[in-house]
Structure 1
Amino acid sequence: MSVLVRLALGVLLATAGLVFWGVADADDVTVSSVETAPGRVGLVLTTPDLAADRVEVRAGDVPLTARVTAADRLEADAPDRGVVLVVDTSGSMAGERIATARRAASGYAASVPADVRVGLVAFADTPALLVSPTTDRAALAAALESLRANGNTALYDALPVAVAALDGVSAPRLVVLSDGQDTSSRAGLDAVTGLLAQRSVPADVVALASDDPALGRIAAAGGGRVLPAAEVSDLAGAFAAAARTFTHRTAVEVEVPDALAGRTADLTVVASAGSRSVTATVPVTFAALPAPPAPLPPTWSLELWLLVIGTFSAFLVAAVLLFGLVGRKEPVPLEDRIERYGPRRTRPVAPEQGQVARGALSVTDTLLGGRADAIAARLDLAGMTVGASEWALLRLCGAVVLGVVAALAVGNPWIGGPAGALAAVLGTHLYVGFRIGRRRSAFQDQLPDVLQLVAGSLQSGFSLAQALDAVVRDNTQPAAGEVARALAETRVGVDLTDALDRVADRMACADLRWIVMAVRIQRSVGGNLAEVLLTTVTTMRDRAQTRRQVRALSAEGRLSAYILVALPVVLAGWLLLTRYDYMRPLFTTAIGWVLVVAATVMVGLGALWMRALVRVEV
């Protein structure tokens, strides 16, 4: 055979060896403990000689995301595996032999799977159990470093000690290292081989430069094998071959897309370590996705809802009929009796109340208790003629009706009902606040004209009270009504400046407070009050003009602030209505809630900052 032919055959055999070494036989690879759950599959891959550190999984032709998980995911019923290293430390092992044996045994312990418990028995003149089978590789390494070679060989006595150390292990094994014949054991070869066969303990015998037939009998007794090591340098390879007798178990977690939920497919698992890989296929039926929660069924029938709507609509009508057509008149209030002695004004005639209306108002008054006065004062400040009990009854009826309408619109009475009632209560409260603000702003705008009229009256020779009465007769609301209230208080003994102070407090008017202070100073030291008022009017008008000019100049900034603050809110609301699935992670995940809170805080801080920029005090 020529040299080229030999070279070609060598390359071919080497390539075939690499191929068969790189891919394990699929028959030796098993998949077990397959657990399916919505969105995931867990399994355990058992390989004959591969500690996988990465996996690839396909369902048919669809690649799936997979990862190797912790060892506690492995089968709970996996066998308890243990091995005892029986190492010859007789004098013939001294020098390089014992040092190489220590390194080879350490490599063996590092190569076997982590769940395999490894023990150590050393024998020379007598055997000694140095380490009971354990998964603590550090303790084993320390014991191996303590091995020293001297004395004779008691191999047959060491084997029963090693077998006894494996009591309770469901899958026991021995790895025996010896370099010669037994010279000092009390036990015989037949007794040792009989024990191994009886206990079904296979022994892999590493024969270092020895062809003793007793080593072959020891290996054959329990179903082990002889691993020859002609030279000391062959020990590492022999121990590595012994380590490959253990199978490796790898826990794999697979993510399943929603498109595969409920389907059956062949799951192909490719586990790799370095350049080696193994493949296994198992049919799997993926778990179906959980059914979406059913909408809350309506707790009330349609007929009952219609009955509720009709009942509360009738109740609302009864509340509106507070101004009934038949009934006795209420006593004349004290304020009306006082105003009989002041300027004549046309007042709306209070309608008479019916019996049902009076009963409803009586119950409402009882429920309001001490809050009735505060509500009445707020309504009066807003310029509303309705009473406190009437307003509370109207708010209640409106809350009930709007709650029923919202519940029907939403389809869930436990959400729509409270939301509608809350909207009605807040809406009425904001309505009163809006009327109060508008009335105070109108009073502020009318004050210069009122002071101009008072100053003209004073220059004509009228007293301050008479000048204020001229304002009342002019009947420009709300200024005329507030001044009339102050004059009515003076007729029962209240000082005019104190009455005007109360008007300033009601209207939140700082300018009127300064006017009252000027009147008090004029009363104390004298002077021309008309001239003071005219100067004040000029100042107030100039300041009002400046305020309007500032508002005109800052209108663009205020509009920008409104748009920037409203834009994220409006956009979020629109996306919630049209793309709820897109927005759902914001309200169903922890990071989503963090983002919502952060966005709310940032928008609030931005609104405050822009408000400070566009707000100019004049």
Structure 2
Amino acid sequence: MGASAARAASPLQVSQGAGASFPARSLVLSVHNRGLVRPSQIHLSENGQAVEGAVVRAIANAGIGDFGVVLAIDVSPSMQGQPLKNAMAAARALAGQRTGQQQLGVLLFDKAAHVALPLTANAPAIAKALAKTPTVGPGTHINDALSGALRQLAATRVAAGAVILLSDGADRGSVSTEPEVAAAARAGHVSLYTVGVRDPNFDPSSLQMLARDGGGRYIEASASELQRVFTTLEAGLTSRYVLHYRSRAPLGHRVHVTVAVDGIRQAATLTYLSPSPPQGLSVKHLKATSFWVSTLALVLVSCAAALLLGLALFVYLLPRLRRGGLRRRVGEFTSVGVLATKPTLEKAPSRPLLALEHLLERTSWWPEFKLNVEIARMHRTAVELVALDALATIVAAVFVSFALGTAVLSVLVLLLGPLALRAVVKQRLHKQRELFADQLPTHLQELASTMRAGHSLISGITSMARAAPEPAHSEWARVIADEQLGMPLEKAMRPLAQRMDSEDVGQVALVAALHHRTGGNMAEVLERVADSVRERAELRRELQALTAQARLSRYVVTALPPVVIALVALINPGYVRPLFHTPAGVILVFVASGLVISGSFVMRAITNIKV
């Protein structure tokens, strides 16, 4: 009794709320002898550390899931007549005091419990359920009715719940016992309030015991006083506050919670035990919860990282030999003075790179990739780019794995590494081809002018190539070298058209073939081809300007999901934790990544208009 009196005298009381699963937590705070308290005046801490981001709401302004009351009304024969009418009038008065999203449920009981109104915040439904006085029935199963009310609150998962039971007698014949009901109320963090209606044969002992063991109050009143009693109880319940927050306490630890209010010296305290971590789980069980914390995942990721890191070390630590390139050796047998080309020295790949290249030559994509790297003028061989990309991808994946504590994003990084290399090579290749296309009209005009001066076609190409900048200089030098080795000029131009993906060069090759067979005014034809190429270049630039916004939208939309996830992970890591530590979350991450990448490719196809 002394401890109970001390709690009643305390200006602050805090209790655990329901409806939240750890690390989410809900508390119910009662502030006595104090007016309205602002959320900024309430301070919450766990084990001495302030809790940031707590949501505080007064029950008077309750949100959805904050507060719910179930009225359990006795409809046994002893309540027939005016007592039952007064009870329903009191229920209507209590419903009329509701504010915000407070939920109300009504349960009528005799020998069985009947749900007259499930927990709801719908005012018309509440008014309809309380409009009529119910009929009476035999029996008074108080404990069974309270068990049904507690199940309603548990199913609705409200943070602060209460049951107000009204009866004029003791329990007769319930399956549930008083200790079981009280234990269920304490486990569900629900307060039991009992109201006894006085009559000549009234025995308050069972109602008093339920209220005492259920953490509520017992009130005795006559039938005419029920409306005042109900409204008083409602006012007391709605003067409390609900606190929602996420705990940062580790599993299996005792947590000391302190709630302080500005202007009140004494703080309210509460101690709870966080859920215990799973003990003695087998590898099979770990796989079922999260593959990425299993031993198999650790072994696979470690082996992949070790292999790729070893390959990277071989690439950088072994000596590299140099030897002359094929083009320099073939150039010794052609006219050296025709085209002043700089001798190029190619690096002889080291043994690990040779082994890697032999392995890559077995794939179908390698010849095209190797050719694209050469045309894009990447200043490194294709096998060196693959090795460097593998090293960078592994380093980035390991960094992401350690930084975020999950291997899911590391797998995505491993998948995106080759795609990034391919995108870079394609971009450089596209720029080289665009530069060649921009240079082509001027070069064709120069070639036409040279032919009007009396030079031959091959002499004009040689003169034009000598002064041409890159990439036109190197590409036309290939054509001249092939022609000097005995290949017909039109055939020597076809590889150039394929390498530069240029239909215009194909037209020049066709004109060269016709000129070789039939003769004619080659200069005039070349001038017309140059005008056509120039017009197409202008149209291509206009299309690029018109599609610039769509291309920018593609980059923004593609980058938005990973950027948002990264920001949320930095601000609140626990919020995105289920995405990377549950099987469903991992599947959703890979599905979403695939959809984002596919959407990016579709948007690129829409904006990539061939002219």
If the length of structure 2 is used for normalisation, what is the TM-score? 0.49
| Max Rg structure | 1
If the length of structure 1 is used for normalisation, what is the TM-score? 0.48
